[in-house]
Amino acid sequence: MVSFIDIVTDGDILNETDRYIQYHTLNKRIQYDSNKIVYKVMPDLNTFKKDEQMLKTLHEQHKQPFLKFVFPENHSIDSELERYLKENGYEYSWIELYINVDKDFVSKDNDNIDVVTTNEDNLVDFLNVSYEYDKKYGTDYAELKIEVSKNQLYEDNPVQVLSYYQGKPVGTLLIWNHEKYVELDSFAVREPYRKLGIGTKMQAFVADFAQDKLIILVADGEDTAKDMYKKQGYVYSGYQYEALKEYE
C-alpha cells in the first residue's frame, strides 16, 4: 500500500540525512512544496531550532521568504514544539492521504461536460482556471505556477487535465503517473460550477488513465471535500503534520 513516504516531491533534493530530506529548487523558488524539510524522525525542540536557523539562512540567501517543515507520518507534534510554532508565527495543520482501489466513479452521461488533456490549443484555458485558483496563495505564486504549467505541457509528468461545462473552462487537475500509483493533484472546479457532476467526471477520467494502478490524493485535514472523496470510494490511509512560516 502507498504511504506518504512513497509520494514523489516536485523538487530537487539538496541534502538527505538519517533525520530528514531537504528540498531546494531554485527554478521553483517560491513554491513551498519544492523547498522544504521533510523529517524522517520527529525532532525535539532544540533540534528543530537548529534546523530552522539553517533553513532560514539558506532561504534568505535566495530571497525565499518562507520556511516549511513536514513532520513524520502518523506522528503528532508534542506540546513543547507546538507551543513554539504558535509563538513564532507558524501556521501548522495536517494533511491526509486517501487511496482509491476500486475506482468506481459513477459519472452520469452529461453532454454539457467535457474532460480533455491540455494541448497548445487549450493551454490558455488551463492557465486561466489555474490562476483563478492559485491566486489565493498570492499573485507571485500564481504567476510562477503559470510558468511551471507552460513547461509541464511538454513533459511526460504530470499530465494536465481540463474540464469544460457548456464550452466554458471550469476545472483543472494534474495526474502524476508513477510506477505503483497515480496521484491526483491540484484538483479544482470553479465555485459556480460545483455539484454539477464535473468533479466526478474528472475523476472517472483519472480512473481510465490509471488502469490497474491505485489512485491517491492528499487532502487538507480540514478540507470539506473529504466527505465527497469517501463517497467516491477513497479510503483514509494516514496523516502528516506540516508547519509553514512566511515573513517579510
- Count of the separate structural domains present in the chain: 2
Residue 3 has pLDDT above 90, yes or no: no
Is the pLDDT score of 2 beyond 70? yes
% of the chain exceeding 90 in pLDDT: 65
| Cell 519544492, located at residue | 34
Q: Where residue 81 falls among pLDDT bands split at 50, 70, 90?
A: very high
pLDDT confidence bin for 224, thresholds 50/70/90: low
pLDDT digits (tens, 9 = 90+) for 95-143: 999 998 876 766 667 889 999 999 999 999 999 999 998 888 888 888 8
What whole-number distance in Å separates Cα of residue 199 and Cα of residue 185?
A: 13
Predicted local distance difference test score (pLDDT) of residue 18 = 97
Q: Based on the domain organization, do 81 and 54 belong to the same domain?
A: yes
Angle at the Cα of 203 from the Cα atoms of 198 and 109, rounded to 5 degrees: 50
Q: What is the pLDDT of residue 102?
A: 76
Choose between 232 and 216: higher pLDDT: 216
Question: In this predicted structure, what is the pLDDT of residue 141?
Answer: 84
- Would residue 164 count as lying in a domain? yes
pLDDT digits (tens, 9 = 90+) for 8-20: 888 999 999 999 9
Domain residues for 19?
A: 4-98+241-246
Output the CA–CA distances (angstroms, integers) from residue 48 to 42, 191, 222, in the order listed: 9, 39, 25
Which residues pair with residue 238 across a beta bridge? 97
Query: Does 225 reside within a domain?
Result: no
Q: Are residues 107 and 92 in the same domain?
A: no
CATH of the domain at 33: 3.40.630.30
**Pair (188, 203) in one structural domain:** yes
Whether 183 is in a domain gets the answer yes
Q: Quick one: angle between helices 139-152 and 123-134, nearest 10?
A: 150
78 and 169 part of one domain: no
Residues 193-210: tens digit of each pLDDT: 988 989 889 988 999 999
Residues 48 and 113 in one domain: no
Q: How far is the C-alpha of 188 from the C-alpha of 183, rounded, in Å? A: 14
3-state SS class at 93: strand
Residues 157 and 180 in one domain: yes
Shared-domain flag, residues 79 and 128: no
How much is the average pLDDT of 83-97? 95
Which of the two residues, 172 and 224, has the higher pLDDT score?
172
Q: How far apart are CA 33 and CA 10, in angstroms?
A: 7
The separation between the first and the last C-alpha atoms of the chain, rounded to the nearest angstrom, is: 41
Given a cut of 70, whether residue 22 has pLDDT beyond it is yes
